[in-house]
Amino acid sequence: RDGGALSSRVRIVAGDCREDIPVQADVYIIKNILEWDDDSTRRALANVLKAARPGARVIVIENLVDDTPSMKFTTSMDLLLLLNVGGAKHTRLSMVERLTDAGLVLGEVRPVNAYLHAFECTVPA
Ligand SMILES: C[S@@+](CC[C@H](N)C(=O)[O-])C[C@H]1O[C@@H](n2cnc3c(N)ncnc32)[C@H](O)[C@@H]1O
């Protein structure tokens, strides 16, 4: 927000993360994004790896199709995503597969709250 406490530290960059992520950062937070088609997920993660320095952290936060209280919400979102963008919500395993296939080193997977999980990854050397 203009004039907000963090405004001098924020830069909004327009673009398509499947084409390019022109930002070098210590931490990349990707929240409720990797729920579209698999090719888009592959391209977005490949662009994170291209932009990031070795050792940078990549934290992917998602609602999972699992046994948590988010199941009803996630199942409706799963259907909505399938019908609208050919996407899907993930299980813990299908998310882990996509992150490791992209070349990220997976650390812990932690609940953020009753609805969201964080997959803590690192960009390898
Ligand atoms: C489900 S929302 C999640 C927003 C936010 N990260 C959150 O968790 O509240 C997905 C966001 O991705 C943006 N988006 C969609 N396609 C994109 C693309 N190709 N490149 C960059 N951003 C995109 C949308 O504009 C939208 O803000």
Q: What domains sit in the chain, N to C, each tagged with a CATH number?
A: 7-122 (3.40.50.150)
- Residue 71 reports pLDDT greater than 80: no
* Cα 34 to ligand 1 centroid, rounded to whole Å: 9
Average pLDDT of 44-48? 98
Average pLDDT of 27-43? 96
- For helices 38-51 and 92-101, what crossing angle results, to 10°? 50
Confidence at 30, pLDDT banded by 50, 70, 90: very high
Chain center to CA of 67: 20
pLDDT for the residue numbered 115: 86
Select from 33, 78, 113 the residue to mutate for testing ligand 1; criterion: most ligand atoms less than 8 Å from CB: 33
pLDDT for the residue numbered 66: 79
